[in-house]
Structure 1
Amino acid sequence: MAAALPGLEVVGADVVPLPKVRPGYLFGSGKTEEIADRLKAEEVELVLIDGSVTPVQQRNLEKIWKVKILDRTGLILEIFGDRARTREGVLQVELAALSYQRTRLVRAWTHLERQRGGLGFVGGPGETQIEADRRAIDEAITRLRRQLAKVVKTRDLHRAARRKVPFPIVALVGYTNAGKSTLFNRLTGAEVMAKDMLFATLDPTMRAVTLPTGKRVILSDTVGFISDLPTQLVAAFRATLEEVLEADLILHVRDIAHPDSADQAKDVLAILDDLGVDEKTPVIEVWNKTDLLPEDEVAALKERAAREEMIYTMSALTGDGIDPLMRAVTDALDDERHELTFSLPYAEGRKRAWLYEQGVVENETQTEDGYELTVLWTARQQKTFREL
């Protein structure tokens, strides 16, 4: 994960057994001194700890080791901050960072002096530095949430407009660094940032794609998923991941060459379930990066995938397997949206509400007997409507 940050040179990595967590220093005194000697010998300036470190532990270890320390949450925030491109992405990163800093006030906001008693915004008599810092962060969080709400509202308007477009939406999802952006670029000709690093994409990108049959779809590239995502980041980035909820089809891209590919797939499916993705939404599993495997393994994978209905092997980098995947996408999607005008009695209020929830109503007029509705919908939506 450290390699995803530019300008860092990884000089070593260790797995340290931790039979008991020390409240003040995380590690025992012997291990702490041992690590300190090694850091000094190798002239290390930054230590990354793949786990949660309390503010007290971080401050004490930095004092002993004389280096800067980042825990898992801090590192992911640094990476996210480096990757964010759109206005929403930047605001989400800032909001997550402030939520994280709020738990580390003593370390993060030392530029503020102890406040004297006073009136107005200065605070009450004897306000401590931590109280002032906490108030400053809370005000910044409130301001960011207000700005983010405006951005989200705009995105919702765009989403509502896309519902009326007569093209299905296909969402690319997968663990971070699975190759989603490389596949997105190959299919769309776009220049989305696609590098062999974690979290290369932080903001959903959408482009139109023409399938072999001539049918057009909207392809959406989303932020990469990750296991044990810190709480602050789950809350801040949930809106970005919710783009998947609008999809008519999901392509679950897996790095099949990764040793933990199966566990990563479980994490992705768990997050999709947590987001509330409709169980009826079809999912095609894409076993990507076959170019990194020996030929005999690729042949075995293709044989396994051929026995499954919704699994396809491919290499987004070389293009191998693209055509069968596109044919599967074509077969999995409904026909293009079509327009229909019909009457609905006043007593069918529940059906009318469902149509508006789906965003398919183009026009409505009231008659003596009910509503005259013009809708633009897919065959699947029409079938669901009839079953209500």
Structure 2
Amino acid sequence: MTEFTVRRPEEHERRPAQSTVARALHSPPFTDEQWAIARDAFPAERTWAAFEDTRPIGMTVSAAVDLAVPGGRVPAAAVAWVGVRADRTRRGVVSALLTTQLRECRERGEPAAVLHASEATIYGRFGYGVSSQVKHVMVDRTRARLRADVPVTGSVRLLSEAEARTLPRELYARMGLHRPGMITRGDGWWRWNHDRVLDRDEYLVAVHQDHQGVDDGFVTYRPRSLGTFEQPAAGEALDVRDLHAANPGALAGLYRFLLSVDLVTKIRLKSRPIDEPIDLVLENPRAAEVMAIQDHLWVRLTDVAQAFASRTYGHAEPVVLDVRDARLPENAGRYRISPQGAERTEADADLELDVDTLAMLYLGGFPASTLAGIGRIQARDPEALTRADALFRSATPPWCGTDF
């Protein structure tokens, strides 16, 4: 068994720790230019590293965000850069790092931690559950035409280089967290995930403006050549990186713009909401093909009572949940959920579940009846499943829409 300690890295240890994780994730270490941005995007006070003597062998970081939940929002930790050196895996290093981080989240008053999983088999054992799914869509531009009855609510303009750095962040903040699962984006996120990729990958930004002159949506995209030696005239693909709209008219307007770009044969939209109707606005719905449906946002409730108190519930008779949490036992116990809120109780449980399954239920992405049907919820009272479905239901499927 490897002897190691988990602690905050000193300033001079932060970059070596990041390099260790980068190699573990099959990425090159940051350049000097990248590190100048990353050191602020991934705060030192939210970094934990594992050390063998003075040598880093693993790391995890997080950023403070707000997470949208049905009827409100909660403080949360956006977890990233989780990794262990290849010759030190399966020795308890990740377990020690993540457990330390989760307990810190609870102590900070952050009732949830969220992440995008590089491997889907890792995080369930730490209490994370899949809370939202996304679809990856390929649109065959040669067969795609917008239906004539799709309303035109404004126009689209390309942004200058200076506007492309500022306007999307203003628009994202103005649109707000209008779906469960969305998170706030701090300055560090914008510098690392937006400004940097504009410089590195030559992305373009277009904005939709309504008939009153109000900007209400944006898309960040870039053309990629599909040509090969065998097929030099294959055309271009538009890779959509970031697309947000305040209303259906803005969304349709951004679709219309992407479909109008010349020389394009494919439009590739990654990580879109499950219910986004791009196929239904086309004359030929089959021109938009769902290439994959994947897990996206994983949630870990670090303080179940606070998380329950931070969201609203639908109209149904109360349900008592018996929650199991071996890693953070303070969360374990029974909770009475009703339209008026949630509270601890000693009443008999209607439903039993582990904390990772609770995360799947929490944002409204998966009905309790579905989770019970696959064995993830044990129902002492089967009729309680219908009540739980109504209590936890979300008006729209959860979606994060932010990579981190």
More helix by share: 1
**Structure showing the higher strand proportion among its residues:** 2
Which one scores higher on RCO, CA 8 angstroms, separation ≥ 6? 2
Question: How does the TM-score come out when normalised to structure 2?
Answer: 0.24
Structure of greater Rg? 1
Q: Tell me the TM-score normalised to structure 1 length.
A: 0.25
